[in-house]
Amino acid sequence: MANWVLGLTGGIGAGKTAVSDALAEKGICIVDADIIAREVVAPSTFGLNTIVDKFGKDILQDDGSLNRAKLRHIIFTNDDHKSWLNDLLHPIIRQATLTQLAQAKSTYVVLAAPLLFENKLEQLCNHTLLVDVSEETQITRTSQRDNVENEHVKRIIASQMSRHEKRQKADTILDNNGSLEKMYDNLNTLHQELIIKAQLT
């Protein structure tokens, strides 16, 4: 893989999408791990066909797409099923990710992944960027955006790698506690630095 890869991550409500959208507007190719995870189980894919072979057609919606809620229920109540699914999908997702990263034509390419460190995707990256906000900001923004209770957001945060651990692992931290304008200003500066890093590598 010849392209210079920036791993982009951030906890829920941190603003990772705002950063990836801004970089995309600058002409940077974005490879989104969440989108790939959905694509590899789209109708008629090897991934979905294998899941149907394992769990039966009841795992499908009426339109032939994967019933994610039903699959989540199955794997959360059975560790063997969860391991089987991970063993099936992780290699497919990894290969699709590598293919998209290699095909990118921009100065550098972004691998955007909420679970970048948890899934060890930083191993595919030359540099990692954490979009960081306080837990209070995460709770406020997410509860307002998704119209959910604060306690629900707290449970999601508790299920993710801690902010402290992510900060220790990241090569660069982009503070997004303030205004979007301030974050964009800092991102513009960082973008120029990343172009230089990519060109020098």
Q: Strand 127-132: give its sheet, edge to edge.
A: 29-32, 109-112, 5-9, 127-132, 172-175
Report the C-alpha gap between 161 and 147 in whole angstroms.
23
**What residues form the annotated binding site for ATP?**
13-18
Please count the other Cβ atoms lying within 10 Å of the Cβ belonging to residue 103: 11
- Which residue carries 């406020």 as its tokens? 140
Q: Is 3 helix (H, G, I), strand (E, B) or coil?
A: coil
Residue 27 CA to residue 156 CA, distance in Å, equals: 32
Annotated binding residues, written as ranges, equal 13-18
CA distances to 12, 18, 19, 111, 133 from 121, rounded to whole Å, are 18, 20, 18, 9, 21
SS (H, E, C) 39-91: HCCCCCCHHHHHHHHHHCHHHECCCCCECHHHHHHHHHCCHHHHHHHHHHHHH
